[in-house]
Amino acid sequence: GTTIEYALKMEALPDQLQLDKLLDKNKISTNDMVGIATKIADIHAISHANDKEAETGKPEPFRAQCNDLLFQLKRYFEASMTQPILDMIRHPLEKFIDENKRLFSKRMRNGRIVLGHGAFLPEHIFLNGDVVRLISPQEINKKLVVLDVANDVSSLTVELTRLGKTELLNSFVKQYLEISKDKDLLKMLPVYQTYCALKQGVKTCELKVAQKDESLGTLAMDYFNLAVRFSREIPRN
């Protein structure tokens, strides 16, 4: 007969296997983080962006994304309080981008700009024994996906930092470095961690408004404070 329509069959992943739920229950080991790091490093190794796509990893488009996030955050918080803090975040970012254009170019040449996950957060990672499964948000802007590998690494490390999971964070980064042999990653990490903390802060502010949930304001401020913390760790030449 004639095909009327196609249906996409997808396996449902149980909530109890979600990394954020497992972290809440302290059921994640350093070995689990090794598995997660190996998974994302393997994905990055085969997901190099082509020259046209990789434009988003260049200094100026990345600067524009950071500035956009800073502008959006300003809308959600009282201007008199936030402007000095926003400047504390912006200045190290600007300085790093201005002084490290060669490093950005080197990252592109070495295939470190990838078609990544784009939202590598605990709620999108599932663990079942040694098996690591990832899900992607259905709608995600391409400019948030095609970036330096540091973007995905930072997305998860920001969350682990917020939750105070230092040992798990260190295991994850160590294994990623081991697999990827990415010698310059640690220079890029604080820059992208600042960016990811800002991104999560804006997303949380948007949710707070949409859901009229005042408790999300505290979480948004946590991300804001993390952005300040990471910006202080940005290498100064």
Asked whether 146 and 114 are in contact (CB, 8 A), the reply is yes
Q: How far apart are CA 147 and CA 41, in angstroms?
A: 14
- Whether the pLDDT of residue 197 is over 90: the answer is yes
Into which CATH architecture does domain 15-231 fall? Alpha-Beta Complex (3.90)
The pLDDT value given to residue 142: 67
Q: How far apart are CA 157 and CA 201, in angstroms?
A: 15
| pLDDT higher at 165 or 15 | 165
Per-residue tokens: 168: 């798990």
Is the pTM higher than 0.85? The answer reads: yes
Average pLDDT over residues 162-178: 99
Return the number of other C-beta atoms located less than 10 Å from residue 204's C-beta. 20
Q: How far apart are CA 81 and CA 231, in angstroms?
A: 18
- Taking the domains of the chain in order of start, what are their residue ranges? 15-231
Q: Tens of pLDDT along 31-69?
A: 999 999 999 999 999 999 998 889 999 999 999 999 999
Long-range contacts of the stretch 97-104 (C-beta < 8 A, 24+): 97/59, 97/62, 97/63, 97/191, 99/237, 100/59, 100/187, 100/237, 101/59, 103/184, 103/187, 103/188, 104/57, 104/58, 104/59, 104/62
Please state, rounded to an integer, the average pLDDT across all residues of the chain: 91
Q: How far apart are CA 29 and CA 200, in angstroms?
A: 25
Per-residue tokens: 178: 């081991």
- Whether the pLDDT of residue 155 is over 70: the answer is yes
